[in-house]
């Protein structure tokens, strides 16, 4: 036992350590529910309800007041939620352990959805029947982030069993849709889930993520004109064919130049995050192999920094910049000038950053050290639910969890049992101190 722990802390750590088999069983139970994402439009459901009910049962048993609800997001923050999203059979969960009155409240946060298991033939084990091998648990979501959810729950259960009664409220919240649109946490914030600060157990590998980028996907549709691909064509003004794919190429070049330009701009420098980028993630064009393509649609993923969002959470400036780069191409091409590309922007996930000087950050780092882990402050290039709690809900929230980021979304996804136990102890110590 680490010398820097008090006697009470050491006892807590020992209790969790001796409960390792139960913690592992909990992780395996969670992996057993198929909660692979149903995607951005979120039509239909898998076993989200059963998993949330399982968590709710355990939280109720631990004495928490629990609520499961299927949100209705009609008209709520349309800029950040897919228009057709449907939560039927996919409830969100919030459970509260009421504090004795004074003291800071803490939010424990996790997402229960995970990415698809394809290519399933490459898995060495059944992704929904977690295998234990060499001190690791293998299965979809083991790292991202059923391991983290289990760890937070087990820490809370252990504290309650030992008679811990917090001064500030503790809220445990598990959401869906992190892997697709982030709409689960938008809904949770909209429902009023909040605290003085929040701890999300994404698989940070014991790093502390205080910041993340936002992203938005948009489509550019370029029009061409169909015609026989093997016959000479007159000029387009004389009725000749126009190849929509050829017309797309300079636009792709302009887009790939954006990332480079952004990373050299001092106003887009961030200590924890790379500057934004524009990545072409899809291209679809052409109707027939002997026909000039009449249409080409390009899908682009744009990432951006927290300070590129306006106070009202808008991204107008960024959009204008991107569209300006496209416009510069179209102005120099007569066909494109006469047939301007159509850009359609989807809802975006909002970037977020909490103050690295917040007391929770220092506490997490201290508690990590007590279990022999260094917890450096870093940023997440991609996105995580804390951003919604920070930006839309004013709950400064960080991610700190077991499992490596490199294990996210891979075949044979795994989390180490030792990471789980250490994270669970650190989380219990955080709760004890922050809400105690
Ligand atoms: Zn995750």
Q: How far apart are CA 55 and CA 49, in angstroms?
A: 10
Q: How far apart are CA 426 and CA 429, in angstroms?
A: 5
Q: How far apart are CA 78 and CA 346, in angstroms?
A: 10
**CA 287–ligand 1 middle distance (angstroms):** 38
Q: How far apart are CA 111 and CA 122, in angstroms?
A: 25
Q: List C-alpha distances in Å: 255 to 250, 299, 328.
A: 9, 11, 11
Residue 370's nearest CA partner among 358, 359, 362, 382 is 362
Residues, CB-to-ion distance under 5 Å, ligand 1 = 144-145, 202
**CA 203–ligand 1 middle distance (angstroms):** 7
Per-chain mean pLDDT for the chain? 95
What is the sign of the dihedral through the CA atoms of 17, 20, 22 and 23?
positive
Six token digits for residue 256: 């790939």
Q: How far apart are CA 375 and CA 393, in angstroms?
A: 26
**CA 329–ligand 1 middle distance (angstroms):** 38
Query: Could you say which DSSP state residue 174 is in?
Result: E
**CA 304–ligand 1 middle distance (angstroms):** 19
Residues in the chain where the model's pLDDT stays below 50: 1
Peptide bond into 386 cis (omega under 30): no
Residue 181 in contact with residue 217, Cβ under 8 Å?
no
pLDDT of amino acid 2: 52
**CA 115–ligand 1 middle distance (angstroms):** 9
CA 164, 168, 172 angle in degrees (round to 5)? 80
**CA 376–ligand 1 middle distance (angstroms):** 19
Q: Are strands 197-200 and 397-399 parallel, antiparallel or unpaired?
A: parallel
At 410, phi and psi to the nearest 5?
Answer: -95, 160
Q: Is the pTM of this model over 0.75?
A: yes
Measured from the Cβ of residue 173, the count of other Cβ atoms closer than 10 Å reads 28
**CA 411–ligand 1 middle distance (angstroms):** 15
**CA 245–ligand 1 middle distance (angstroms):** 36
Residues whose CB falls within 8 Å of the CB of residue 264, separated by 6 or more in sequence, listed in order: none
Q: List C-alpha distances in Å: 49 to 55, 120, 175, 242, 276.
A: 10, 24, 11, 51, 36
**CA 331–ligand 1 middle distance (angstroms):** 42
Residues 367-413 have pLDDT tens digits of 999 999 999 999 999 999 999 999 999 999 999 999 999 999 999 99
Angle between helices 48-61 and 147-161 (to 10 degrees): 20
**CA 111–ligand 1 middle distance (angstroms):** 7
Residue 251 in contact with residue 357, Cβ under 8 Å?
no
Backbone φ/ψ region at 72: left (φ over 0), alpha (ψ -120 to 50), beta:
beta
**CA 204–ligand 1 middle distance (angstroms):** 9
Residues whose CB falls within 8 Å of the CB of residue 60, separated by 6 or more in sequence, listed in order: 66, 95
pLDDT of amino acid 1: 44
| Burial group, residue 75, by CB count within 10 angstroms (0-12, 13-18, 19+) | exposed
**CA 148–ligand 1 middle distance (angstroms):** 9
**CA 400–ligand 1 middle distance (angstroms):** 11
| Burial group, residue 414, by CB count within 10 angstroms (0-12, 13-18, 19+) | buried
Peptide bond into 145 cis (omega under 30): yes
**CA 328–ligand 1 middle distance (angstroms):** 38
**CA 279–ligand 1 middle distance (angstroms):** 21
pLDDT of amino acid 74: 83
């Amino acid at each position: 036992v680490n010398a820097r722990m008090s006697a009470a802390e050491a006892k807590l750590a020992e209790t969790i350590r001796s409960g390792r088999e139960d913690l592992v069983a909990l992780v395996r139970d969670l992996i057993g529910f198929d909660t692979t994402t149903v995607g951005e439009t979120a039509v239909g459901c898998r076993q989200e309800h059963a998993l949330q009910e399982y968590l709710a049962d355990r939280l109720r048993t631990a004495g928490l007041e629990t609520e499961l609800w299927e949100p209705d997001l009609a008209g709520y923050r349309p800029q950040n939620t897919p228009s057709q999203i449907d939560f039927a059979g996919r409830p969100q969960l919030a459970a509260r352990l009421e504090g004795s009155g004074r003291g800071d409240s803490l939010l424990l946060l996790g997402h229960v959805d995970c990415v698809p298991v394809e290519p399933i033939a490459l898995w060495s084990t059944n992704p929904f029947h977690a295998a234990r091998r060499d001190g690791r648990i293998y299965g979809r979501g083991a790292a991202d982030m059923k391991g983290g959810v289990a760890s937070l729950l087990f820490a809370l259960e252990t504290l309650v069993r030992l008679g811990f009664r917090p001064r500030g409220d503790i809220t445990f919240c598990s959401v869906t849709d992190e892997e697709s649109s982030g709409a689960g946490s938008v809904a949770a914030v909209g429902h009023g889930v909040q605290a003085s600060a929040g701890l999300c157990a994404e698989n940070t590998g014991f790093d502390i993520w205080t910041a993340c980028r936002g992203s938005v996907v948009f489509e550019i549709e370029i029009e061409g004109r169909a015609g026989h691909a093997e016959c000479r064509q007159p000029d387009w003004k004389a009725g000749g064919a126009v190849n929509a794919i050829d017309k797309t190429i300079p636009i792709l070049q302009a887009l790939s130049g954006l990332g480079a330009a952004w990373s050299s701009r001092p106003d887009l420098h961030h200590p924890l995050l790379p500057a934004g980028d524009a990545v072409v993630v899809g291209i679809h064009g052409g109707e027939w192999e002997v026909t000039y393509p009449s249409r080409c649609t390009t899908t682009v993923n744009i990432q951006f920094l927290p300070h590129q969002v306006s106070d009202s959470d808008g991204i107008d400036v960024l959009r204008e910049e991107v569209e300006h780069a496209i416009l510069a191409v179209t102005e120099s091409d007569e066909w494109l000038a006469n047939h301007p590309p159509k850009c359609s922007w989807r809802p975006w996930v909002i970037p977020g950053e909490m103050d690295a000087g917040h007391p929770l950050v220092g506490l997490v780092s201290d508690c990590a050290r007590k279990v022999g882990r260094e917890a450096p402050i870093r940023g997440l290039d991609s996105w995580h639910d804390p951003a919604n709690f920070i930006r839309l809900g004013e709950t400064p929230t960080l991610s700190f969890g077991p499992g490596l980021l490199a294990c996210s979304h891979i075949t044979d996804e795994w989390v180490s049992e030792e990471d789980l136990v250490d994270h669970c102890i650190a989380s219990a110590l955080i709760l004890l101190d922050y809400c105690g």
